[in-house]
């Protein structure tokens, strides 16, 4: 099954990537500008190998998910091959704080404005996403001027609690969820997204408006445990499927 690079990079897991046209996607990550046209190109780069989680057997996971029921089979066949990105803890945390009550286009715009204002130029007019130190000089009004709105105090609280993000790897999923939610403005959905897309916690199952629709229509008597041991990847397939079908 062919990798759906567009859905993987622009479908709501990450807001770092830009479509340059002709099948090329680029992002500023790890102090570099990366450009790729296929997942295969990432295999020779250690950073991208880890970022794209290339050591995990997604083919077997997809097969197991598709065989679970007809809805999941349709989702997998419709969406194609996707995976769960392994992003930087800080970038994922602020990205998903920005995602609250927001859409992908607007989140990406806010991500880029934060990068241009508070990050540093890596080359070719492209900017890194600002670190906690780089954002520490921003005020709430500064952030609101960029358009982040009610999320401004949440970002500032995350700046002050950034060291917390390095303490989650060894915690249970439940304890990590609880600890993330001590950051102002982070609730269960955002915490679950952060744990999936930065800490590789595959048991996460974030519930946004799209997933609430899926669960109500197709799985009214099911809990996330139904999708075990592929909760996070199943969720991502269902999310991508219903969003692309109905938006």
- pLDDT tens-digit series, residues 172-182: 999 999 999 99
3-class SS of residue 139: coil
126-127 and 121-123 strand pairing: antiparallel
pLDDT at res. 38 = 95
Contact 115, 127 (CB under 8 A): yes
What the block records as the tokens of 212 is 């609430």
The top-level CATH class assigned to 5-85+204-246 is alpha beta
Averaged pLDDT for residues 105-116: 98
pLDDT band at 2 (very low <50, low <70, confident <90, very high): confident
What the block records as the tokens of 215 is 């669960």
The conformational region for residue 101 under phi > 0 = left, psi -120 to 50 = alpha, else beta, is left
pLDDT at res. 6 = 96
Averaged pLDDT for residues 163-176: 97
Averaged pLDDT for residues 13-17: 98
Cα(66)–Cα(79) distance, rounded to whole angstroms? 11
Contact 219, 226 (CB under 8 A): yes
Superfamily of 89-199 according to CATH: Hypothetical protein; domain 2 (1.10.340.30)
Averaged pLDDT for residues 131-154: 97
- CA proximity to 19, closest of 96, 115, 108: 108
Contact 178, 194 (CB under 8 A): no
Averaged pLDDT for residues 208-235: 97
Degrees to nearest 5, angle at CA 195 with 192 and 201: 105
Q: Which one from 37, 184, 189, 212 is the annotated catalytic residue?
A: 189
Exposure string of 117-128, with b = 16+ CB inside 10 Å and e = fewer, is bbbeebeeebbb
3-class SS of residue 80: coil
User: How many residues would you count in the chain?
Assistant: 247
Averaged pLDDT for residues 90-114: 97
Cα(32)–Cα(9) distance, rounded to whole angstroms? 17
3-class SS of residue 119: coil
Cα(65)–Cα(246) distance, rounded to whole angstroms? 22
User: pTM for this structure?
Assistant: 0.96
Averaged pLDDT for residues 193-199: 98
pLDDT at res. 243 = 94
Judge whether 189 counts as a catalytic residue.
Answer: yes
Q: Where are the chain's structural domains?
A: 5-85+204-246, 89-199
Element of type H or E holding 127: strand 126-127
């Amino acid at each position: 099954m062919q990798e759906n690079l567009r859905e993987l990079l622009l479908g709501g897991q990450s807001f770092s990537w830009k479509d340059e046209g002709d099948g090329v996607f680029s992002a500023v990550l790890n102090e570099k500008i990366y450009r790729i046209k296929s997942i295969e190109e990432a295999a020779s780069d250690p950073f991208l190998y880890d970022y794209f989680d290339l050591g995990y057997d997604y083919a077997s996971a997809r097969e197991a998910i598709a065989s679970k029921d007809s809805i999941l089979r349709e989702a997998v066949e419709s969406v194609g091959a996707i995976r769960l990105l392994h992003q930087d803890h800080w970038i994922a945390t602020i990205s998903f704080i920005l995602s609250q009550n927001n859409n992908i286009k607007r989140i990406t715009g806010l991500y880029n404005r934060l990068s241009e204002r508070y990050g540093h130029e890596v080359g070719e007019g492209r900017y890194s996403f600002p670190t906690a130190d780089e954002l520490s000089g921003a005020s709430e009004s500064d952030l609101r001027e960029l358009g982040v709105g009610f999320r401004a105090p949440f970002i500032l609280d995350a700046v002050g609690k950034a060291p917390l993000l390095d303490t989650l790897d060894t915690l249970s999923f439940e304890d990590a969820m609880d600890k993330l939610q001590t950051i102002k403005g982070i609730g269960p959905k955002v915490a679950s997204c952060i744990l999936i897309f930065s800490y590789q916690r595959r048991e996460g199952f974030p519930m946004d408006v799209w997933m609430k629709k899926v669960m109500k229509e197709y799985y009214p008597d099911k809990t996330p445990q139904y999708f075990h041991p592929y909760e996070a990847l199943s969720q991502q397939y269902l999310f991508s499927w219903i969003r692309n079908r109905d938006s």
